[in-house]
């Protein structure tokens, strides 16, 4: 039972690795079994090697071997061109997605700037608050903190001191008369 589990694990690992190999054909190293033994290298190196072998075979007047080497070179040329097309298609897709994301960011930035401009316009259109207690508009807009020394003094009449009481005065005011300014009636 233990061996079947390990086989299934290795089989799934093999399947996964085969799926990933298709993407990096350009730089992948291949072992090619040609008519004169193995040729090892990247597709571009294998193509160059088979083309050299085909030229050598032509110089020795072996047309069959030259054709065979040319077919091997053509196989790797097709593999390389297909891989290059896939890479180009992926690159174009990524560039398209990047352009879409950039356009979305530009739209969001424009909307944000428009909202900020609208807020600034709304703030400018609002009436300025009316100055209070004789303050000027400049003081109302100022960010300075008010201190008792900086507040303008009011022009009210100063408070009067209460009159000292005599023994005969009652603490209550007479109801029929004026205030403190009225003279007392004679008895």
Supply the pLDDT for residue 121.
Answer: 86
Supply the pLDDT for residue 136.
Answer: 55
Q: What is the pTM of this model?
A: 0.45
Report d(CA 72, CA 11) in Å as an integer.
30
Residue 118 lies in a domain: yes
Residue 9 lies in a domain: no
Residue 16 lies in a domain: no
Structural domain count of the chain:
1
Residue 1 lies in a domain: no
pLDDT in tens, 112-169: 999 999 888 888 887 665 555 555 555 555 566 777 776 666 666 667 777 777 665 5
Residue 95 lies in a domain: yes
Give the angle subtended at the CA of 46 by the CAs of 42 and 48, to the nearest 5°. Answer: 120
Residue 36 lies in a domain: yes
Supply the pLDDT for residue 20.
Answer: 46
Supply the pLDDT for residue 175.
Answer: 53
pLDDT-derived band at 64 (thresholds 50, 70, 90) equals very high
Q: Is residue 97 scored above 80 in pLDDT?
A: yes
Residue 59 lies in a domain: yes
State which residues form the domain around 98. Answer: 26-122
Percent of the chain with pLDDT over 70: 61
For residue 51, CA distances in Å to 9, 54, 65, 77 come to: 41, 5, 11, 11
HEC string of 141-161 equals: HCCCCCCCCCCCCCCCCCCCC
Residue 113 lies in a domain: yes
Report d(CA 39, CA 45) in Å as an integer.
9
pLDDT in tens, 18-38: 444 455 788 888 888 887 788
Spatial CB neighbours of 32, under 8 Å, sequence gap ≥ 6: 38, 39, 40, 46, 50, 72, 76
């Amino acid at each position: 039972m233990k061996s079947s589990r390990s086989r299934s694990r290795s089989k799934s690992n093999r399947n996964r690795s085969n799926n990933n190999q298709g993407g990096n054909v350009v730089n992948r190293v291949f072992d090619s079994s040609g008519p004169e033994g193995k040729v090892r290298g990247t597709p571009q190196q294998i193509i160059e090697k088979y083309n050299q072998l085909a030229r050598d075979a032509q110089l020795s007047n072996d047309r069959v071997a030259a054709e065979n080497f040319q077919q091997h070179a053509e196989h790797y040329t097709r593999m390389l061109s297909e891989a290059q097309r896939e890479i180009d298609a992926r690159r174009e897709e990524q560039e398209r997605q990047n352009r879409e994301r950039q356009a979305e960011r530009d739209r969001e930035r424009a909307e944000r700037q428009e909202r900020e401009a609208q807020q600034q316009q709304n703030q400018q259109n609002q009436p300025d608050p009316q100055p209070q207690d004789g303050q000027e508009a400049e003081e109302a807009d100022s960010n300075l903190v008010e201190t008792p020394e900086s507040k303008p003094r009011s022009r009210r009449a100063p408070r009067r001191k209460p009159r000292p009481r005599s023994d005969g005065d009652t603490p209550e005011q007479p109801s029929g008369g004026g205030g403190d300014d009225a003279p007392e009636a004679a008895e």
